[in-house]
Amino acid sequence: MSINELINNTFGNFNFWSILIAVIVVIGIGFFLQKKQIIIKDWEKVLVKIVLYVALPALALKSFLVDINTSTLTEAFIVMLIGGIFFTLVTFGSQFFFYKTRPSLKVSLGMVVAFPSAAYFGFPILLASFSEQKAEILTMSSMFLVAFWILLSTGAIYYFQKPLLDKQHLTSDLNRETYKYQFNWKNLKPVVLNPVLIATFIGFLLWISQLIPGINLISNSKNGLVSISRIDVYIPGVNKILEILSVMASPLAWLAIGTVVAKGQLVKALKNKIVWYTVFLRNILMPLIALLIILFFAWIGDLSHGFRLSTLVLMLMIAIVASPTATTIVSYAIAFHREQTLVSETTSLTILTSFITLPLWIFVAGLIGISTGLFT
């Protein structure tokens, strides 16, 4: 890949601008519907339920229904390891960026920083730009997002559902909220039985089972013999059902964002320093941290001659991490009544600022991949 091709595939990418414009328009529709009170009160909560229990599980499962490529298996597992380290680090560490704020704000904005909108920004943009390498992009994005899906449905849920002590139980500072959490089945049940987590494990098992010798038994006109774990290929309706349900996730969440923002004071939010601080962490610092982790692994691979990461994979991982906040976090904030207005306003600003930051990060990643010699 030359630098000219990199520039054209990044800044001249029609699909990139189309996605961002679509996001703003859909959020605007939700804003308009709420302002004019065209829809029933609190209708965004219904949208959130559909996203959490139907659309996201379908999206998680669909992301693993791709053919496994044994020639790039080592690279795939390195990518999964990088994703595991990064998302674990930011899930449990991002709240410390807000250590001086009240606990509910610290947790909520910490999750805003930790989780990018992986499936609807960076990933489809790279897929549109490098469509001839679709198989590699699908496989590597699925592997990189294994930890993302697990932590989104466990760690994020854990933090959002931690109960607040009643004010009469506070003895030190009435302006400070204190969390307590009991590890019992009642509290763990929503995490263990989370549809997204279940779909993630099923999807990963279906994907990894393709390594079993002699399992390619199903005849397919496009790919020859495929694994019996590729249920989307030979069971009628599976692929289309997952495709229809999965695409609902972001549009419905975007409508919910517009609704919640309409209930708040967006102009006031634009003057809020902590909002812009959060946007900086999400769109600038998180990709930088991910880049340093990736470069460390690329250096180890180059030094040991054990593996090599491609420039495309580097761009893919950075594009995912540099995406604006996952709309699922807004859904959680609404569902658990945790700083929902501020979370929605901050998420909206991460989307708006990603017009500038996302293509820049993709370009920087590609430039590093081309120039350092650490990537193929």
The domain that contains 26 carries what CATH number?
A: 1.20.1530
Predicted local confidence at residue 168, as pLDDT: 42
The answer to whether position 290 is within a domain reads yes
> What per-residue confidence (pLDDT) applies to 292?
97
Q: How far is CA 253 from the centre of its chain?
A: 13
User: How many structural domains are present in the chain?
Assistant: 1
Per-residue model confidence (pLDDT) at position 318: 95
**CA pair distance 37, 31, nearest whole angstrom:** 10
In a domain, 176, yes or no: no
Q: What is the pLDDT of residue 164?
A: 56
Which pLDDT value is given to residue 169? 44
The SS3 call for residue 36 is: coil
Residue 131: give the domain boundaries. Answer: 3-162+184-371
Residue 92 lies in a domain: yes
Residue 221 CB contacts under 8 Å (≥ 6 apart), including other chains: none
Asked if residue 234 belongs to a domain, the reply is yes
- What pairing do the DSSP bridges indicate for beta strands 216-220 and 224-227? antiparallel
Q: What percentage of the chain reaches a pLDDT higher than 90?
A: 24
Question: Position 220: which residue type?
Answer: N
Is 265 inside any structural domain?
yes
Look at residue 39 and tell me if it is in a domain. yes
Return the pLDDT at 191: 66
**Residue 97: per-residue pLDDT:** 94
Q: Closest Cα to residue 115, out of 63, 69, 80, 156?
A: 156
- The residue whose two tokens read 């990603």 is 354
Amino acid 131: pLDDT: 67
Determine, yes or no, domain membership for 177. no
Structure confidence by residue, pLDDT tens digits, 227-286: 888 888 888 899 999 989 988 877 887 888 788 778 766 677 788 899 999 999 999 999
Inside any domain, residue 110: yes
Contact 361, 322 (CB under 8 A): yes
Return the amino acid letter for 158: Y
Helix, strand, or coil (residue 219):
strand
**DSSP assignment letter at 99:** T
Residues in the chain predicted with pLDDT less than 50, given as ranges, are 166-179
Displacement of CA 364 from its chain's centroid (Å):
20
